[in-house]
Homo-oligomer: A and B are copies of this chain.
C-alpha cells in the first residue's frame, strides 16, 4: 500500500477513550507520598491540590481505558488528528534504507502536545465548579496550552512563569495574555514560598521547581482554585495517550510496523503518551518494540540520575514521587538552551525504564540543534529544541541503518515547533552555542540532598 506523506485519521477513527498503561504494568509506579508523614497520599489529600476527578485518575492503576468526555473530544477535533508524517524527503536526503515516520503535535497555537492534557484538566476543573486553576511554566508551552484551555471553558488561569523565561520570552507571555491568563514572574512576592526564596537568593532568575511551589501555594490558599501540572503526573500521561492511540491507529490502518519508537523526555508527558499503547502491546506480549527516551546531556535524569523518592518542587510543598531524579536542587548549566530541564521524571516512565522495558540516551545540545536545522531545511518544519532531541536520535538510527543496510521502521514524536525559541536558534546560528555536561561531583552533591524515606 502506498503511504501518503501525511496520514490524517478520519474523525470517526479518533480515540474515544484514553489508554492507561499502568493497568498493564506488572510493577506499578510507586504512589505519591506525603512530604511530612511519608504516608501514601490519599485521594482526599490529593483532592485538596488537584481536581477530584484528576486525583482519581492519578491513583487509578487498574482501569485500562477511561472515556474521553465528549466536550474534550469536541475540543480535540479543533486541532486533532495530528498527522503521522512519512519523512520521505529526509529518507532521500540521508540515503537510508530506513523508513522514518513522525507524529507531529505542533499544529496548534500552543505549539506542542501540551494542549492534550491542558484541555482535559480545564474540563474537570470546570465540571467541579471551580473558578480557576494555577500552574507554572518554564519555556512557556504548557502555560500557553493551559491559557487556551481556560479561555475555552471560561476559567481563570494564573501562571507562574520562571522569571528568566518571563523576561527572555515576552512573546510567549503575550500569547498567554491574549488568551486572558494572568502571568506572574517567579519567584514573586505573591506567595510565602516566593518571598522566602527571594529573601534567600535576591538575584535568582527562578526555576521550574520554585514556580511549582508558588503555583501550589496559590491554589491551596485560594477558594475555588486547584493546581494543574503539564507533565510528570500519571493523569498527564493518561491524557497524552491520545498521541500514541492516534499513532497506533494510523500505523495499523496502513500496516506500518515500527521497530524503534523515539521520544524526547523532560518530565515524560510526550514520551509516555506516545509509547503508551505500544508499550501495552509489548507488556501483553502482542508485539515488541525498541523504545528510546532522549534527554539533554546537561540534565541527564534517566541516564545518570537515581531511582528514588524525591521532592517534585523546590519549596518541598508537593507530594514526594518515586522517580529517576537528579535531586530537586539540580539546575542545568545556564548555557543550556534546549528545554527538558526538569530534575525528575514521570513515575510511570521511570518504572518502565527501571524494569528494562525501554532505553535512554542523552545528547549534547549542539548536536541537537544541528539535527534541528537539518530537519527544518529538509522537512520544512522548524522544530522545538525539545523535540529536536528525538530528531537527533532518529537521524542517528537512520544513518546507522544506512551503514548496516537494515530497513528498520523508525518512529519518533515531533512534539512541537520552535517559533518561540529563536533566541536559542540565534545562538546556534551565530556559533555561540556550547555544550556542558555536569560532572559526577555535581550530580552526587545534588543527590546527597534526597529526602530520607
Residues of A within 8 A of B (CB): 4-6, 8, 10-11, 74-75, 77-79, 88-89, 107-109, 111, 148, 151-152, 170-171, 174-175, 177-180, 373, 376-382, 417, 419-420, 422-423, 425-426, 429
Contact = CB atoms under 8 A, between A and B. Distances in A.
Nearest to A177: B429
Give the number of copies in the complex: 2
A267 to B, nearest CB: 24
Contacts of A425: 174-175, 178
Instruction: Determine the main DSSP class of A at the interface with B.
Output: helix
A69 B425 CA distance: 33
Contact of A78 (B108, B379, B419): B379
22 contacts: A5-B11, A5-B77, A5-B78, A74-B89, A75-B380, A79-B380, A107-B107, A108-B380, A109-B376, A148-B377, A151-B376, A152-B380, A170-B422, A170-B426, A171-B171, A171-B422, A171-B423, A174-B425, A174-B426, A177-B429, A178-B373, A179-B377
Given A4-B11, A11-B4, A382 B429 contact: no
Contacts of A382: 109, 175, 178
A425 B423 CA distance: 20
B422 A419 contact: no
The 5 closest A-B pairs by CB, nearest first: A171-B422, A5-B77, A151-B377, A174-B422, A419-B419
Contacts of A429: 174, 177-178
A75 B108 CA distance: 21
A108 B376 CA distance: 11
B380 A78 contact: yes
Nearest to A171: B422
Nearest to A107: B107
Contacts of A75: 380
A171 B179 CA distance: 22
A319 to B, nearest CB: 32
A381 B109 contact: yes
Nearest to A144: B382
A133 to B, nearest CB: 16
Nearest to A4: B11
A376 B4 contact: no
Nearest to A2: B11
Contacts of A420: 419
A118 B159 CA distance: 39
Nearest to A149: B380
A417 B109 contact: yes
Contacts of A108: 380-381
Contacts of A179: 376-377
Nearest to A379: B78
A46 to B, nearest CB: 29
A150 to B, nearest CB: 10
Contacts of A170: 422, 426
Given A152-B377, A178-B382, 13 more contacts: A4-B10, A5-B11, A74-B89, A151-B376, A171-B171, A175-B382, A175-B425, A177-B426, A178-B373, A178-B425, A180-B377, A419-B419, A419-B420
Contacts of A175: 382, 419, 422, 425
Contacts of A78: 5-6, 89, 379-380
A377 B376 CA distance: 29
A418 B109 CA distance: 9
Contacts of A4: 10-11, 77
A95 B423 CA distance: 42
A16 to B, nearest CB: 15
A89 B4 CA distance: 30
Contacts of A6: 77-78
Given A78-B89, A419-B419, A429-B174, A109 B11 contact: no
Nearest to A87: B78
